[in-house]
Structure 1
Amino acid sequence: MRVTKAARLGRPALLAAGLALAAGCGGNRGQVDYDLLFTKVEPIDYARILCRGIDMQDQHTCMTSVLQHHRDMRYDEPSPSEVNGGPFVIVLDDDLYRGTYVSNPFVSAFTVSNGANICRGRFNAFGGDTRAEFAVRCDDGSTGLANIILDVDGRNGIGKMDFADGRRGEIVFGHRAVGGNFL
């Protein structure tokens, strides 16, 4: 079998592309399994979610500020009030809902607002909740479920929000993940 020059030259490029995808350089990350308790969340994942609705010309600045905040908070020890709560942000239809959460192992809650609408999520294992999902109700009548997953540090993380009407949002929470203009 005779191999053409074009085929010989194409093999290294194909191999390099395959290695790049295998190493995680592809733009399409795998889905997060929200049934897990924790996973490794990279700082860029926080930036992608938080900066999603920002105008293209400002996205680089936004993402850089999120990454810098994460780096700056890397060695900070949480204060006693920060151990069981912190900032909580939902990006819904490119609209930011900002607020806070409080948590212990069996009962957790968050409250967020976009300035016109307030949404509250609650999870209570003692009250009979069998899945680690937050039942969410908003002042505008919207209802849904929120599911979060902790980063390996146990204090920050990401999540998803699914409303009964089909809208979906993404969540970022924790002192290291949320800072600056997102508070």
Structure 2
Amino acid sequence: MSRIVVPVVLLGLLAGCALIPPQRLGGIAVEVPPEEYGRRLCEHLEIEVYATCVSQVIDNLDRPRPEVPSPGRSTSGPVVAVVDGEVFSGDYRSTLFTGELNLTSPKTRCRGGYSAFSGDPAAIYEFHCEDGRSGWADLVRDLSGRNGIGRLAFSDGAAGQLVFGHAPLGSAEPYPYLP
């Protein structure tokens, strides 16, 4: 009897991880093709430079890297968001139960995070900006667990997409894909 119960319980737990919470991009991790990183990072550029930008992003993803990230880099790194043509760059840091997000554009700086300890049922980052806006960001990891994509929205209705992690961005400072 106990031999049957253990696998059933494990399957139940794994199936629960695959559920997509309401208003979320996806489950714990999704497959993100290299072209998707390129599209999100380059879509704000003029068509003449778009293809070059996407090629650079894909080349950066194809660069060989050590399999094991250095301490502190597996759940933290650069993030870039493009919101109505405005480019934000910054960093994120996450643990199992908390996360921080810092974004800066030429016009404003935004900071926020989430905490399961304060009752956040989902890892939706809430942030506030120096220009008075607030908003949220939903990040989902790719299958490597170290990089990913997301979306964000501001209180004034502006919305955009983001990319995070060392593989798609390398070092996001200075961000090379400005309009």
Secondary structure of the structure 2 residue equivalent to 1:115? coil
Cα distance change on mapping 1:164 and 1:116 into 2, 3 Å: closer
Q: Once the two structures are superposed, what CA deviation does each residue of 1:141-165 show, in whole Å capped at 9, x if it has no partner?
A: 1111111111011110000102222
Q: Which has the larger radius of gyration?
A: 1
The structure 2 residue matched to 1:51, chosen from 32, 42, 49, is 42
Regions of 4+ moved over 6 Å: none
Residue pair 2:24, 2:138 contacting (<8 A) in 1 also: no
Choose which of 82, 89, 94 in structure 2 pairs with 1:103: 94
Q: Does 2:27 match 1:36?
A: yes
Displacement of 1:174 = 0.4
Normalising by structure 2, we get a TM-score of 0.78
**How many residues are paired up?**
152
Tell me the CA shift for residue 83 of structure 1.
1.7
Corresponding residue number in structure 2 for 1:15: none
Aligned mates of 1:104, 1:80 — CA distance in 2? 13
Identity of aligned residues (%): 34
For residues 93 and 129 of structure 1, do their structure 2 counterparts lie closer, same or farther at Cα, with a shift above 3 Å needed?
A: same
Partner of 1:85: 76
- The 5 A counterparts of 1:8-157 are 34-73=25-64, 75-157=66-148
Task: Determine which of 143, 150, 153 is the counterpart of 1:162.
Answer: 153
SS in 2 for 1:64: helix
RMSD of aligned alpha carbons: 1.9
In 2, Cα distance between the equivalents of 1:33 and 1:135? Answer: 14
Which 5+ residue runs of structure 1 have no aligned equivalent? 1-31
